[in-house]
Amino acid sequence: MWDIYFGQWRDGRMQRLAYLGYDLLLMAIAAGIVFGILMLVGGFGETAAISSASIMEGMGILMILFFFVFFISIFAASLNIMAKRLRDMGLPAWGSVVVIILISIILEILFPDQQMQMSAVVANTPEGVSAAMDADASTGSMVSDMFNLIVFACLVLIPSDTFGKKEPTAE
C-alpha cells in the first residue's frame, strides 16, 4: 500500500475503482488519526473550539510537528493518486494536477467562505426561566466545493484512456 500512495510518481496508473477505494481509505485514515488525537487531547469537551495555546499545552511541540508532517504526507499521497488516475485517463498527470489546484485556489479567492450568524433568542416561561442562544458558523465556498466535487466525479466516472492518443482507423 505504501507504493500505491508514495511510489510510481512518474509512470503509475490507477483504474477508477482502485482510485475510489484508495482515496476513501486515505480520507478515513486521516479522519481517524485526527479524531483519535483530538480525543486524547480532550478536543471534544464542552466546546469543540480549541485554541492554539491549549493544543500546545496538551500536545507539545513534537505533536505539532507530527501533525505538520502527517498533513503534508496525506496531501502528497492524495496528489500522487490523483496524478496516477489522470495519467490513466490519458491526460498529462502533473500538469493537470497543477491546473486543478490553481483553479481551486482562484475559486477560493473569488468566492470566499460564507459566514453565518444567528442572533440571540430569549424565551421567557411562566416559571421565569429564559434561554439565550448566539451562534456563528462558517461554511465553505459553495463554488469551490462544487468544483472539487465535479473533479472527484470526473476522476471516478471517466474511463481509462479516454483522452489518450487515438490510433487512426483503417477505412
In tens digits, the chain (171 residues) has pLDDT values of 777 888 877 888 889 999 999 999 999 999 998 888 777 766 555 454 555 556 556 667 777 788 889 999 999 999 999 999 999 998 998 899 999 999 999 988 888 876 666 665 555 666 665 555 566 666 667 888 899 899 999 999 999 888 876 555 655
Sorted by sequence, the CB contacts under 8 Å of residue 156 that are 6+ apart come out as 16, 19, 20
Q: Cβ neighbours of residue 100 under 8 Å, at least 6 residues apart?
A: 82, 151
Look at residue 170 and tell me if it is in a domain: no
In this predicted structure, what is the pLDDT of residue 5? Answer: 82
The answer to the question of residue 128 being in a domain is: yes
- Give pLDDT, residue 143: 84
Any domain includes 40: yes
Distance CA 98, CA 104 (A): 10
What is the pLDDT, as a whole number, of residue 135?
Answer: 61
Q: Which amino acid is at 101?
A: I
3-state secondary structure of 73: helix
Supply the pLDDT for residue 57. Answer: 65
Note whether residue 31 is domain-resident: yes
Expressed as residue numbers, the domain containing 11 is 2-157
Q: Is residue 162 part of a domain?
A: no
Give the CA distances from residue 86 to residues 16, 17, 164, in Å, rounded to whole numbers and listed in that order.
Answer: 10, 13, 11
Q: Does the reported pTM lie above 0.85?
A: no
Domain count, the chain: 1
Place of cell 508514495: 6
Q: Does residue 51 lie in a domain region?
A: yes
Report if residue 34 sits inside a domain.
Answer: yes
Q: How big is the chain, counted in residues?
A: 171
